[in-house]
Structures are given as structure tokens and as C-alpha cells.
Amino acid sequence: MDKLLTLVPRQPGYTHEDAASRMLGLLERAAKAGAWAVDLPARHFTWTAQLATLLDIAPSAVPSFEDALAFYAPESRVLMAGAFEACMEHGTPFDEEAQVIASGGRVLWMRCLGEALRDASGEVVRIQGILHDLTDKRKAEQDALRLTMRLSTTLASIADAFATLDMEGRFTYVNPESERLLRRKSRDLLGQTLWQAMNANRGGRLRREVRLALVNGQPVEFEEFYAELGKWLELRAYPFEEGLAVYFRDITERKAAKDEIEHLAFYDALTQLPNRQLLMDRLQSALACSADHSRIGALMFIDLDHFKVLNDTLGHSKGDLLLQKVASRLTACVRHNDTVARLGGDEFVVLLEDQGENPETAIAGTRVVGEKILAALSEPYDLVGHEHHATCSIGITFFSQQQEGIGDLLKQADLAMYGAKAASRNTLCFFDPEMQAAATANAAINVELRQGLRNKDFVLHYQPQVGNEGHMVGAEALVRWRHPQRGLVFPDEFISQAEESGLILPLGKWVLDTACAQLAAWALRPETHKLSIAVNVSVRQFRHPDFVEMVMAAIDEAGVSAHRLKLELTESLLASNIEVTIAKMGILKKAGVTLSIDDFGMGYSALSYLKHLPLDQLKIDRSFVKDVLTDPNDAAIARTIIGLAQSLGLGVMAEGVETEAQREFLVRYGCGCYQGYLFCKALPIDELEAFMRSMRV
């Protein structure tokens, strides 16, 4: 106030004290507040003119302390008397809301603030404060409350579920019908987003539609099925100033009636499989999707062998029952997004979408499905007490970016099916000549792999792993194939085929057993007994039900310490069944096995899961190490992986280190172990041990 007054030139006729008093009066009137003071120990009470006006008394009135206290309503008087006494005796400030009765009988709500002033000795000599009129504010709040209650009563009585959302999509109000429909109490819903309450995908349609309404300020209306509720809901969202008003309606019964009509039009009445019309629709969509995304799809034409004989001997009822059982088995052999259709009679079609972009991969994957179908359909059938054995012939064609029509594809698959029947029945036949050649080549590789396993044509090479001090701490076991005609074959030429064919299981077991045997040999020598061996584990190996038992058996049979064995797992393990993955890793970790994520940063790692994995190490992929000195992005990724590992308490191994400059970069940011040509390439065991002697391991 003093600083403000110094800006005003002194004028004759009034003093700074006059100006300050008048300015205080203006502030009080603007704020609907008045000041007061009590001088002690006399309890002499003074107040400003504005406070006197608020209390409907003359500004010249000089009330006693007791008179001033009497203005408080009886229900507030005890509270305020206690506040005054505490302030006078102990200097305790107060800030209370209380009712005050003015001279004319008006009841006012006041905010009462007070503080103590002390003399040089610390004694309280004065209490001063203000009364702030809150009556209008209180009335507005009560009016708003009454309006809210009336609105709540109205909304609670409507038949539809109704809710309001804020600008972030969070519930601010739900009516009882919403609680019933969503199966949640309002206290659990308020503050949650609509998609959280619906257990809907954050990137799903519900969130997109709500965001669209909020951003564009335009109503939206849509319907969607929510598995958590087991219901189809129609949702209508209307923007208003503070967010959205949303109506929900259960349309499950209406959808069921509509679906039943559609089912009759698009599904086979006997088997409940898609009929020819629905197959044509899905095949048309699959062709378009395949062309747009350069993915390969497969079409299988399946015909039961000797079905007519069954109909002629046991009757059509038994034939119909067989067709139903065949339909069930076919459905169990494919993915949920594939299509199994019945064209009529004993003819079925299987549509396999997205078999990859590589022809060899597409052939291998489709062959696996075809062989699975052959095996499933050849199992005995119980036809009401009669055991029946059946087989089928399968014709397969592929589609990708070529422009065959639907009819042409069905003809190709049909011709291939007749080729299967001509061959021997109970088999499959590929139509496409180029893909047939690739399938034949893959089959030949499978035969050679089996022969290689029988003939023990595989060998392990070991690449040293080196610590910061330059000492070898272990080695990675890398399999090589000593092919009788092609010479030494590296893993990238046969591992994927072994994975697809299932031969990775016996091959992986051999690698594990051989590595453990080498650990046992090293354990007998003082200079090597602390070394570890890292073994790569494929997804198919890890997913095998007996994988953990196989690892522990290899360790036990070799008689080695489990912590000397390191399993390098691929990131793709985290793409699905994460709970099973964590459980298996936990068992291995508890047994002492060291666990590492191989080629970290190249696969499927979800950081939300990473903290739950019982890991020991992250391994930086060679692709990031290669250009770590020239590519800022690779450098940033490498630093990030190292920092992430450090924050999680994990070790870090960098592979593909080829230069001292790369190693120095990695050392600078905290990497602990290295592997690459800077130190040594992968070597047979005798050459590795010569290398170790040169390092004086």
C-alpha cells in the first residue's frame, strides 16, 4: 500500500493516511470484506466502516469484544470463541467459515481470518483480521447443488445408460443404468477413461470415435461388441462445453436376430461352416489384401477319399455325421483368422491368408497345415457306434500379386487336388510349378538335415566373449553343418528350414548336450573352469513343453555348474504367451542358468514386460554396433540399451565388435563384455583352445 501511495503526488487537503484508509475501503467494498482489530489486554474492539455496513450497524458504533462475538450465530459462536481464545493466549492464527447474524436479522456466511501481533517481548498485544462475505458464493453453490440433484434424479430415471466424460475421456458422471450395464459401481468408474472401463484397446475404435467427437465437436454414433461385457452396445456421444454426453444401449438381442438371418444366408446348414457365397467374399478380400501388402496366401481344395462308398453302405445320416466331424477337425487345424468352407457334398476349401512374403516360407507353412489336416482327418471317427476310417486328398495353390480371378484359383486348387488323388490319395499336391519346385527343394533339405543328424555331420564352433580387462570370460557356441557335398554350411542357410520342419528340436538338443560336455571338460582345468558357454535357443525349442527338463537333463548328465551355461533367447519369445515365458525363465534362473536376450532391439521386446523377466544380460545386436561411430541413431540405440540394462541391474554384451574404436565407444558408455572379429572369429574347439593359450586364459 505504501509503495502504491508513493506513486500519487501529495495534494493539499489530505494525507497519505487518508489515502490509505480510502483505498482500504475501496478494496473492502470490492471484496465484500471488512477488517477488525482487538487491542489487548483491554479487549478494545475496532472495525472498519465496511465491516459495520456488512453487519447493518452504524460505523460510529463502538462494541465490546463480547458484543462483537455475539454477532456470530449460536452454532458458530463456540467455534469462534475458541479460535479467539487460542489466538489471544498462544498467537494461533485462524481461518474458519461461520454464520453471522447482522443487526437486521440477515444471516450471512463469513470467512473469518485472524492473526496475532506481538510486542518486543513476544506478548500478544493485538489480534486483527477480516470477515469476508461468502453468502452469495454459498447460495450459488447451494443452487448448483439443487440443480445437480434434480438433474441426477432425471438422469437416474431414464431407461438408457448415460454418462458424461471430461475432455480426456474420463467419467465425470454415470447414472444407475450405466452401473448396471457396465457392471461397475460409480465410485470405480469415476476418473477412469471410457475405454478403460470397457476394457477396450487403447488404439481401438471406441477411443478413436470418442477422440473424434471431442476434437471435431460433432456427435458420433456407432456400435461395437465388447467381449468383457458379452454385449453389443450402441453408443452415441454428444459434445458439450466440458466434454461429452454419452448414451449406451444394449443391442445384443437385435444383433443376434440380424446375425441369425445373415448366418442362414452365408453358412452351411449342416456343418455351420461358411458356404460358397461367403468363401467367395472372403477370397476376394484376401486377394485384394495380398496384392496391396505383397503377402502370399494359400487356397486348399480338400476332397474326402471314397466318401460315396460310406453314403452307399451306411446311409446319408452317417455321411452327414462324418461331414460334421470333418468340419470340426478342419477348423481345429487352422488359425482363427483363416477360413474353412464347405462347397457342397464332401468338398471343403481352406483359405490361408498371409503366409508371409517369401515363397519358401509360404510353402513350408502351408505344407505344415496340410500335413496337419491329413493327420487329423485320418484319425478314426465314431459314427454312432461305428468306427470309420477316412482320408482326404488336398490340392494347394498360392496367390500374391498375380491377377488370377477367384474362379481360376479354385480351378487350380481343384486340379491339384486331382493330382493328389492320382498320386496315391491321402496326400497333398501343389499346383504352382515354381512353388512346387521350391517345395521339392525344401523337402530335399529336410531329408539332408535328417541324414546329417543321423551321420553326426554337425559341429560346434566357439566365438570368444571378452571382458573389459581383455580376458576371455566365455564363448558362444555356433553350429556348423559339414555337408558331404557343399562343405561347411553356416546356420543362416539351414536353421530356418530346421525351425519350420521341427528338426530344430533334435538339432538344438544336440547343441545343448555338446556345449555342456565342453563345459565339463573345461571344468577340469584351472585355467578354463570359470568360462561359460552361450547357447542360442529358438522359439520352437523354448515353446516345447519339455524344454526346461531337457536343459536340466543336459546339465545334470554333464555334471556341470548351471551358472556356467548361458541361454541366449530371442526377443520374439515376448510376442506371445509372456506368462509362460516368464514362468519357464524363472525355473531356469532359480536353477542357476544364466539368461540373456539375444540381438536386443531387433525384435518384439515390450519394455513393460522387460522388468518382469528374470534376465541376467542384454546383448546388443551387431547391426547397431557396426555403424555406432558413424550413425548417430545406432549410437543412440547402443547407449540406450546400455543405460536400460544398467537401470535394470543387467549385464551388457555387444556382438559384432570389429574395431578398437567401436570397443572404446562401448566401454565409455558402460558396456561390460564384447564379441566379434576384433578378438577372434568362431573357431573349432582345438583352434579355440590354441587361441586361449595365446591369451593366457
Q: Is the peptide bond before 359 cis (omega within 30 degrees of 0)?
A: no
Q: 10 or 490: which carries more pLDDT confidence?
A: 490
Residues 121 and 28 in one domain: yes
| Count of structural domains within the chain | 4
Residue numbers of the domain that contains 225: 158-254
Predicted confidence band of residue 2 (pLDDT cuts 50, 70, 90): very low
How remote is the C-alpha of 335 from its chain's centroid? 22
Please determine, for residue 304, whether its predicted confidence score (pLDDT) is greater than 90: yes
Residues 472 and 510 in one domain: yes
pLDDT in tens, 168-218: 999 999 988 888 888 889 899 999 998 888 876 655 788 888 889 999 999
Residues 615 and 468 in one domain: yes
| Whole-angstrom distance, CA of residue 492 vs CA of residue 604 | 20
Q: Is 6 domain-assigned? A: no
Q: Is 120 domain-assigned? A: yes
Q: Which of 279-288, 571-580, 626-635, 636-645 is least confident?
A: 571-580
pLDDT in tens, 583-619: 999 999 999 999 999 877 665 555 667 788 899 999 9
So what's the pLDDT on residue 69?
Answer: 86
pLDDT in tens, 78-135: 999 999 999 999 999 999 999 999 888 889 999 999 999 999 999 999 999 999 998 8
The count of C-alpha atoms lying within 13 angstroms of the C-alpha of 267, restricted to the half-sphere facing its C-beta, is 13
Residues 376 and 313 in one domain: yes
Residues 185 and 316 in one domain: no
Q: For the domain that residue 245 is a member of, what is the CATH number? A: 3.30.450.20
Q: Is 439 domain-assigned? A: no
Q: Is 620 domain-assigned? A: yes
Q: 658 or 412: which carries more pLDDT confidence?
A: 658
So what's the pLDDT on residue 314?
Answer: 84
Q: Is 686 domain-assigned? A: yes
Q: What percent of the chain has pLDDT over 70?
A: 90
CB distance 666 to 628 below 8 Å? yes
So what's the pLDDT on residue 480?
Answer: 97
Q: Which one of 431, 462, 491 terminates a domain?
A: 431
DSSP state of 692: H
Q: 158 or 596: which carries more pLDDT confidence?
A: 596
Q: Is 436 domain-assigned? A: no
Residues 213 and 79 in one domain: no
Q: Is 554 domain-assigned? A: yes
Please determine, for residue 55, whether its predicted confidence score (pLDDT) is greater than 60: yes
So what's the pLDDT on residue 346?
Answer: 94
Counts for the chain of helices (H) and strands (E), in that order: 27, 26
Predicted confidence band of residue 153 (pLDDT cuts 50, 70, 90): low
Residues 345 and 396 in one domain: yes
The count of C-alpha atoms lying within 13 angstroms of the C-alpha of 420, restricted to the half-sphere facing its C-beta, is 30
Cα distances (angstroms) measured from residue 691 to each of 69, 471, 475, 695, 697: 97, 12, 12, 6, 9
Residue 211 identity: R
Please determine, for residue 666, whether its predicted confidence score (pLDDT) is greater than 50: yes
Q: Which one of 79, 108, 139 terminates a domain?
A: 139
Cβ neighbours for 354, distance < 8 A, ≥ 6 positions apart: 289, 290, 295, 296, 297
Residues 363 and 479 in one domain: no
pLDDT in tens, 228-256: 888 899 999 999 999 999 998 899 989 88
So what's the pLDDT on residue 580?
Answer: 85
Residues 496 and 599 in one domain: yes
Residues 325 and 224 in one domain: no
Residues 622 and 492 in one domain: yes
Predicted confidence band of residue 5 (pLDDT cuts 50, 70, 90): very low
| Whole-angstrom distance, CA of residue 370 vs CA of residue 366 | 6
Q: For the domain that residue 296 is a member of, what is the CATH number? A: 3.30.70.270
Q: Which one of 372, 406, 431 terminates a domain?
A: 431
CB distance 182 to 194 below 8 Å? no
Q: Which of 120-134, 173-187, 384-398, 417-431 is least confident?
A: 417-431
| Whole-angstrom distance, CA of residue 316 vs CA of residue 327 | 16
Q: Is 282 domain-assigned? A: yes
CB distance 329 to 304 below 8 Å? no
Pairing of strands 487-489, 161-165: unpaired
Residues 242 and 129 in one domain: no
Q: For the domain that residue 463 is a member of, what is the CATH number? A: 3.20.20.450
